[in-house]
Every structure is written in structure tokens, then in C-alpha cells.
Amino acid sequence: MTTTEMSVPRRRIADEFASRFGRAPRVSRAPGRVNVIGEHTDYNDGFVMPAALEFATLVAAAPRADRRLNVYSMTMDEAREFDLDSPPERGRHDWSDYVFGVAVMLERSGRRLKGADLVVWTDVPLGSGLSSSAALEVSAAHALLTASGAPFEPVATAKICQEAENEYVGMRCGIMDQYVSACGAAGNALLIDCRSLESRNVPIDPNRRLLVANSNVKHQHAGGEYNARREACEEGVRLLKPRLGPIKALRDVTPAELDASRDALPELVYRRCRHIVTENARVLEAERTLRAGDFAACGQAMNASHASMRDDFEITCPEVDFLAELAQGIEGVYGSRMTGGGFGGCTVSLVEAAAVDRAARTLVDGYRGAYGRVADVFVCSPSAGAGLVPL
């Protein structure tokens, strides 16, 4: 989204803020993301390669003299209140958990916050695997820190937002979504090493596009399946340790080592682990081939990633399998896979620029024909991470 396009929601949110709270806010922005490759590898200390979207969450904020947080969501048309001096221990299964959880964790990290009035707006599709939660957490953190006169340190803040989701919301997510929302770079995907928390930019070739297709099947993260996958990976590490020595995470296991220890694992745990160790290798292969301009090889890694999520990690669903497999057969599409936590949501395809319109039409028509449902298809132009929206 260009600055001019962004100025429309920025003005709307600033006007809403002024009419509710009677003063002018500063407006923070944090994007959603599409993950090019590297699914469920983040909480295994592995590699991921997401890009920040133009879709973003805006939080308008101004400090208060007391320690109250008043939050109004334009998206939900609901208001919530919170006292920084007597915070509830846990979330209450509400959108405001993401804002208040971040406030609690920022304070726990030693950052003293001022009370604030806040207005939230988003155009990140909700529940579609495009990280609407992380966009809300990171934009709220940026707004709360800015209103308190404190610096926004991108990686440290991403970790605090992840803690908020782990401990306050109760979803044991990894660091990927918050990291790329805080640190994204325009025109680039980010190769993130989720152990060292270092990242490098991976340019998206100007003649290639990331085409995202939303199946509009809503995922249910907190629904236990995500946490169950994480537990299977932890179980794998526990059972592999006697064989492989002091491994800390599946990041430390190669596909060959896993195969050699197959008999140490129950079949299901073996398949869950196989997804992770092969996916880590695919992320590095995708980075290498993207940099080398070998898009066909990058696409093959994406296709293999999809098959691994479908067969070994079992986190896809028929609608998303359909969209990925349809895309894989379209001329000018190098590769296609589900993106995000799973059980619905979106696919991402690497597409030759000239083939984008045809591919988009084929996906929309094919999906309507097969499922009678609408797929929302858009091109991702990787945007920058969190920051203040210029006036």
C-alpha cells in the first residue's frame, strides 16, 4: 500500500480518535504477513521466510494522566477498559487480550507504561493465517511504547509480543509472525533464524509475484491442534536425545539422522518430526534459489513443503489442498503451498508477473466450481515492518 492509500485509513482512525477522546493521536502501524516457506519450524528453533503484507493494523494512541487503557476497535465496534495497576492474570478470550496482554508483558519486561486512549483499525483478514493477531500485538506495542515515550526495539518487542500470546492468550506460537511484523523490509522476504533471532533480507525479484489465495476457511489456532503439533515435536526431541546426544530442538537434527533413528519414535511423532527437519532444509534451499534466480527450483521446494504439511504434519484441509494443487498446474506458477498455522486460511504461490491475472482467475473460477465458495486472491508487495504512519 502506498503512503497515499494508507492516509485514508489513517485519517479515518485519527478522526475517530479525535471524536471519542477529544485530542490528536499518533498512529502506529504493524503489518500482517504471508509466509513464503518454513511452517511450524519457528518453535523448533529453525528457519522461516515470511514477508510483511501491505494489510496492516493501525493503532491511534495518546497518553493519559492516569494508568488506564481505554481501547476502541473500529473493526469490532466495541470498547474495552483496563487498569495497568490491577491487570487480570490471563486473557478472557476476547480481541482485547492481544492489546492488554502486550501491555502486561511490556510492564513485566521492566518498561513502565503510561495510561493511554487507543483506537484500533485493521484490514488484515481475520482468522486467515495472515497473522492478524501479531499485527494487533505489534501495533499495540508500538503505540503503547510511543505514548509512554519509550523506544520501540523491534526484536525485543517481537519477543514480548510472542510472550503475550503464549502466556496471556494461551496460544503457544513461535516468533515468526511478531518478528516479521516488527522487522519486515519493503520489497523483501526475511530469512529468520529463529534460534539466533538474526535475519537477512531476501529480495523478491521484480518480475515475480507472491500470489495469495484465501480459501475463507477460518482456522482455529487456539483449538488445540497447533499446541498438539508443538507437543509432538517436543516429544520427538525427548525421544531422540538418548540417540543423538545433546540436541536442544529439531533444528539440531538432520533428515539423515532422523531416518537412522526412526525406530526410536512412534510413527506419528516420526512423521511430525520429518516435516520439521525436511522443512528447515527446504527454507534454506528456497532462499538459495530465490537469490540465484532459479525460480523453478524455489517452486519445487514450495510444492514439497505443501505435500509435507498435508501428509506428514497434517495441517492442511481439502479446500487449501485444492487451491495449492490447482495453482501448481497453472502455466507461469513456479510453486504453491499453504501458508500459516494451518487448518484453513491461505495459499501462497510464486508466479511469473505476466501470469498473475490468469492464475488469479483460474483459482477463483476453479474454487467456485469445486466448492461453491469465493476465494479472495491478491498480490503481496512486501511492506516494511512496524512504524509510525507519517502525517
Q: Identify which of residues 177 and 252 has a Cβ nearer to ligand GLA in the complex.
A: 177
Interface positions with ligand GLA (CB under 6 A): 35, 39-40, 42-43, 131, 173-174, 176-177, 340-341
Cell triple for 333 = 506458477
Q: Identify which of residues 341 and 385 has a Cβ nearer to ligand GLA in the complex.
A: 341
Query: Shortest distance, CB of residue 288 to ligand GLA, whole angstroms?
Result: 20
CA distance 97 to 78: 13
From the list 159, 135, 145, the residue with the least C-alpha distance to 107 is 145
Q: Identify which of residues 154 and 174 has a Cβ nearer to ligand GLA in the complex.
A: 174
Give start and end residues of each alpha helix (H) in the chain.
3-21, 96-108, 132-147, 154-163, 176-183, 225-244, 255-260, 267-292, 295-308, 318-328, 356-371
Query: Shortest distance, CB of residue 187 to ligand GLA, whole angstroms?
Result: 22
Q: Identify which of residues 201 and 227 has a Cβ nearer to ligand GLA in the complex.
A: 227
Please, are residues 278 and 308 in contact by the beta-carbon 8 Å criterion? yes
From the list 284, 259, 333, 343, the residue with the least C-alpha distance to 309 is 343
Cell triple for 252 = 539440531
Question: Phi and psi at residue 362, in whole multiples of 5°?
Answer: -60, -40
Query: Shortest distance, CB of residue 334 to ligand GLA, whole angstroms?
Result: 21
Q: Identify which of residues 133 and 349 has a Cβ nearer to ligand GLA in the complex.
A: 133
263 is catalytic: no
From the list 9, 117, 22, 135, the residue with the least C-alpha distance to 72 is 117
Which one is catalytic: 42, 45, 117, 177? 177
CA distance 339 to 176: 12
CA distance 250 to 258: 9
Query: Shortest distance, CB of residue 21 to ligand GLA, whole angstroms?
Result: 32
Please, are residues 172 and 230 in contact by the beta-carbon 8 Å criterion? yes
CA distance 122 to 120: 7
Query: Shortest distance, CB of residue 161 to ligand GLA, whole angstroms?
Result: 10
Query: Shortest distance, CB of residue 116 to ligand GLA, whole angstroms?
Result: 26
Q: Identify which of residues 117 and 177 has a Cβ nearer to ligand GLA in the complex.
A: 177
Query: Shortest distance, CB of residue 311 to ligand GLA, whole angstroms?
Result: 17
Q: Identify which of residues 173 and 191 has a Cβ nearer to ligand GLA in the complex.
A: 173
Task: Give 380's contacts (C-beta < 8 A, 6+ positions apart).
Answer: 34, 51, 53, 54, 209, 210, 211, 212, 348
Rg of the chain taking only CA atoms, in angstroms = 21
CA distance 228 to 162: 18
Catalytic residues: 177
